[in-house]
């Protein structure tokens, strides 16, 4: 063996210098199928292999380039990559450093659109049960669009013609470009925070897929889905569909159609109210006429038709009742009179005066109390003797007991 001994690092560095020094490998386009795809969410770097029928090359796309991708790479996807070939010295492995990536056979925007649409549909953001009805008579309508586009003019013109009593709450925003999705989402959130309107129209006029791309933003889609205010999406022309259209409560083919969907026709509503007025007026007249006829019928069959005859009939009835009352009263008095006579007879038979009339007398002491026992009296006491024909005062000389009964007797 001759010559100096090289280290592994020196060999790898030499090979790296050779490869990077070849201008043909510093900016190449290479096509193949993605495999072993790994997305490092924390760092943002993408690691994968690119293969064809016979060979495989390792590849990496750093976060700065990965953030510019319009779609999400997946295993099995055929892509065309622009980048450079270099050697990763620590492992001595050459690999492709990808700076840009495009789907092979389909545009990146179209692929990104389909991927996001499928993912949000699977989450249920497009489900019909989440769609809210529009208010039939909005007082305030929020409009989110460009201040310089034809969309806002169309919406204002149609709203002023169809439903002039509505107030327009206008939120001017960018509708395309890098800052457009954030402005659109913030406008929706601002109208919700302030409860500023009854319905929101969000949209713009027609354009290419790139022009409408702001309305395919995932953050905007989730903001529209979470809105407490019903939202009508009116993006582009009738043939244009965006993610915002699918998430919104209602999709309008154009901004002009959105204004019509959100507003009733004032003249039609006025005519409808007038027809209601005519209907209820006729119904009221018919009801009044029916009630009048009913009253007439009742009057014909009532005392009101001939008050004098009714009063005369009542007078006769009253006279009859008065006579019956008198008869009942007399019978009641007669019955009570007989009962009273019987009771009076019984009471009279028990009266002390009836006893006195048979020769008896009643003695009352000085306090006027009847004397029931001789022991109640004292010699010298003055008493009253009540007989049938009168009374006499007497003085007690002596209280004598009855020897047979053992009780005193005067």
82-93 per-position pLDDT tens digit: 899 888 888 888
pLDDT range class, residue 356, cuts 50, 70, 90? low
Q: 250 phi and psi, to 5 degrees?
A: -150, 140
Q: Which token pair is 101?
A: 């990536």
pLDDT number for residue 3? 64
Name which residue leads in pLDDT, 16 or 230. 230
pLDDT number for residue 23? 76
| Cβ-based burial of 111 (10 A; exposed 0-12, middle 13-18, buried ≥19) | buried
Mean pLDDT of 302-308: 70
pLDDT in tens, 24-61: 888 888 888 888 888 887 788 999 998 888 898 999 99
pLDDT number for residue 410? 45
Name which residue leads in pLDDT, 215 or 36. 215
Give the length of the chain: 410
pLDDT number for residue 107? 66
Q: Which token pair is 346?
A: 């019984």
Residue carrying structure tokens 């008050």: 307
Residues 6+ apart with CB under 8 A from 30: 50, 57, 80, 81, 83, 96
CA 333 to chain centre: 75
pLDDT number for residue 339? 85
| Cβ-based burial of 5 (10 A; exposed 0-12, middle 13-18, buried ≥19) | exposed
pLDDT number for residue 156? 95
pLDDT in tens, 131-179: 999 999 999 999 999 999 889 999 999 999 999 999 999 999 999 998 9
């Amino acid at each position: 063996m001759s010559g100096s001994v090289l280290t592994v690092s020196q060999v790898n560095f030499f090979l790296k210098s050779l490869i990077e020094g070849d201008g043909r490998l510093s900016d190449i386009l290479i096509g193949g199928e993605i495999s072993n795809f790994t997305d490092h969410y924390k760092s943002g770097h993408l690691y994968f292999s690119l293969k064809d029928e016979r060979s495989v090359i390792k590849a990496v796309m750093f976060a700065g380039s990965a953030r510019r991708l319009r779609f999400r790479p997946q295993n099995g996807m055929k892509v065309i990559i622009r980048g450079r070939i270099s050697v990763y010295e620590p492992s001595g492995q050459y690999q492709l450093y990808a700076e840009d990536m495009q789907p092979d056979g389909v545009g990146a925007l179209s692929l990104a659109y389909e991927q996001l649409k499928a993912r949000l549909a699977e989450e249920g953001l497009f489900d019909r049960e989440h769609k809210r009805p529009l208010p039939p008579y909005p007082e305030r309508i929020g409009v989110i669009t460009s201040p310089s586009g034809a969309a806002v003019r169309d919406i204002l013109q149609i709203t002023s013609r169809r439903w002039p009593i509505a107030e327009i709450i206008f939120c001017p925003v960018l509708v395309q470009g890098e800052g457009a999705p954030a402005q659109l989402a913030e406008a929706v959130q601002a109208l919700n925070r302030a409860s500023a309107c009854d319905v929101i129209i969000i949209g713009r006029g027609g354009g290419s897929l790139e022009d409408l791309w702001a309305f395919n933003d995932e953050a905007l889609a989730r903001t529209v889905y979470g809105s407490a205010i019903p939202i009508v999406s009116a993006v582009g022309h009738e043939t244009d569909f965006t993610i915002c259209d699918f998430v919104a409560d209602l999709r309008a083919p154009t901004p002009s159609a959105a204004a019509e969907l959100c507003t009733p026709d004032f003249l039609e509503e006025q005519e409808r109210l007038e027809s209601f007025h005519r209907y209820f007026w006729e119904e009221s007249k018919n009801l009044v006429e029916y009630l009048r006829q009913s009253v007439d019928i009742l009057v014909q069959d009532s005392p009101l038709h001939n008050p004098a005859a009714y009063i005369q009939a009542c007078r006769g009835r009253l006279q009859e009742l008065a006579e019956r009352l008198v008869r009942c009263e007399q019978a009641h008095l007669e019955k009570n009179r007989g009962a009273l006579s019987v009771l009076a007879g019984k009471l009279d038979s028990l009266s002390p005066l009836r006893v006195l009339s048979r020769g008896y007398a009643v003695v009352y002491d000085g306090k006027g109390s009847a004397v029931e026992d001789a022991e109640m009296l004292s010699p010298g006491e003055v008493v009253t003797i009540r007989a049938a024909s009168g009374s006499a005062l007497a003085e007690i000389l002596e209280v004598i007991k009855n020897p047979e009964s053992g009780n005193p007797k005067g």
